Chain A
């Protein structure tokens, strides 16, 4: 079995995200970039499946500029077997990404796609579902536990009411939730080995995927500033203040 893991290069989760001076977008200059944390969990899960003997190959794919190779190499250092970069300098929207991934999935003939439930930059939470729809495959989203047996995947999902367990036929699309696993640390010798692992770069244009923009960005704005609090002396004053704010 082959597992395909799509990963996205995003601003590191520790960075305080800031807007560009003219509010034309998010400041990425001089900012640390990493694998989207949910995608890293997906890579880890694919590796664990392979280590259990349930898969032969883990292929990592990313879509974006040449610099995304850094994140692919990182996933290869974790233990993935090879990487594919679909190279484009343009921003890719969820539907476009799903179409590209569908194409790669077909080319590679992978039985299972494991990917993050969402990217922490746009928080869309759409690509996995769209990929399942256009591939006409079952989907199991927000997985916090994944078990494979007899051509089926049993996935535990975190839902509002608690945990839901579903079974899907393979091939399928699984998206990962935070508690699925804790990704391993990359080891130094593996970073050296990762440099020699195959990484194909395919220009987006060569894939022949139609990507009409489905979304239009109308603007960016920082969240409203939090105003300082105020100490009150008595309950009466508190009630008065709340009335004035219109919350009572």
Chain B
């Protein structure tokens, strides 16, 4: 579907004011596609070139020998849970195979497990600002006839977020009376009681949006984190034997709210580099000299400007746009997202409006239904909490267990049985967004790869 018209608007609780569309948001010449369908199509093209694609075999960890990445180890299949967090091989157990390679290219997307391991072990981010993230929600709606203007793209800022929380909405009008509606919240939000999922649901109830959606039906829904740190957060993208590309490194252009073009481009550039030099070293330098990096440089100060509030952010964004990023300074992100949460006793009122709502889904579990997520019930939870005592004692007191609120699928739940409180991990609901791995204030949650083939079954998202 070709993009035809853009609107950029600022919302208040009941009002909507059109703002001039920033040039980064001009979508003329772009197309609206389902990312899932695009990936499927790319896989078909690759297979036609006799390239092996192995869906359902997640790379679980990097294999490192003498300071060099020599490949990856795939996740085990057929493990069963044993007691609450233990595991044992089941009757169909198949250990994950090791794949050795001259070059391993990590294209895992935002917060990839292997990329995270390598960034830590090789300290790839030591000269970079901390990476920051956003949590995105997306729903595909089938609407009554005649409401949709195919190709129209709308973005909003403002309500229901208050000025200190960064985020906004997107609405893509498709053909056949369908729309994508979605919302992204910066995971650098500070209040531990803030509920990102509710922000999205509230947005849908803004009068200007509700009138569009009312009477329609959800076809599918999903959630995923995105990287938004931009150029200043980009880790070093090469290691002996491996390269990081796309959002595994963090090439997304957050001012455009688009990452696909950068991911594709970084993959092409990485291929060019390897063909020319037959080694991974020099890839980081090559990327930083490319036009893709120039695009990121231009917009590097836009996202961090919003941490001083929406109005400062907008004015700063306008300035940065006019000067095309030529300002001599680079704004910093400050602390990583997980350190940004305030403790309950420092945090004031929750900066969030939660009103009545009647559009589906009624809660997070109803939303997970539309993600058609599936994990074999007997497999061990792929969400590992290194110390659940912290959840029950410290976190409850200090932060009020924010995992119960930031998870878009309601995976984390403190349950009380016989007067005893414990952390329950409903791992089967997980939609693989990775917000918990990013936002948990003690860094004790680790998202690991579940059994191959598990996860959401997104339809045309």
Contacts and interface: CB of A to CB of B under 8 A. Distances in A.
A182 B78 CA distance: 11
B142 A21 contact: yes
Given A15-B372, A16-B372, A188-B97, A30 B34 contact: yes
B457 A30 contact: no
Given A185-B92, A191-B54, A16 B459 contact: yes
Contacts of A18: 219, 459
B94 interface: yes
Interface of B is mostly: mixed
B37 interface: yes
A182 B77 CA distance: 13
A29 B40 CA distance: 12
Given A14-B457, A30-B40, A31-B459, A189 B370 contact: no
A15 B52 contact: no
B457 A12 contact: yes
Interface of A is mostly: loop
A192 B99 CA distance: 13
B219 A185 contact: no
B209 to A, nearest CB: 22
Given A15-B372, A21-B176, A182-B92, A187 B97 contact: yes
Contacts of A21: 142, 176-177
B431 interface: no
Interface string A109-137: 00000000000000000000000000000
Given A18-B219, A30-B34, A30-B37, A188 B74 contact: yes
A138 to B, nearest CB: 31
Given A18-B219, A30-B459, A192-B52, A185 B142 contact: no
Nearest to B176: A21
Interface in B350-397: 369-370, 372, 374
- Most B CB atoms within 10 A — which of A18, A185, A189? A185
Nearest to A225: B217
A184 interface: yes
A30 B92 contact: no
A32 interface: yes
A15 B142 contact: no
B176 A14 contact: no
B374 A14 contact: yes
A28 to B, nearest CB: 11
Interface of B: 34, 36-37, 40, 52, 54, 56-57, 74, 77-78, 91-92, 94, 97, 99, 142, 176-177, 219-220, 369-370, 372, 374, 452, 457, 459-460
Contact of B57 (A12, A14, A30, A188): A188
Contact of A185 (B34, B37, B40, B94): B94
Contacts of B220: 16
Interface in A12-27: 12, 14-16, 18, 21
Contacts of B176: 21
A16 B366 CA distance: 13
- Most A CB atoms within 10 A — which of B36, B37, B78, B457? B457
Interface string A169-203: 00000000000001111111101100000000000
A187 B457 contact: no
A189 B96 CA distance: 11
Contact of B372 (A14, A182, A183, A185): A14
A15 B457 contact: yes
A110 to B, nearest CB: 27
A15 B74 CA distance: 25
Nearest to A13: B374
B460 A187 contact: no
Contact of B77 (A30, A185, A192): A185
Contacts of B37: 30
Contacts of B459: 15-16, 18, 30-31
A102 to B, nearest CB: 33
Nearest to B74: A188
14 contacts: A14-B374, A16-B372, A18-B459, A21-B176, A21-B177, A29-B460, A30-B34, A30-B460, A32-B457, A183-B92, A185-B78, A187-B94, A188-B74, A192-B52
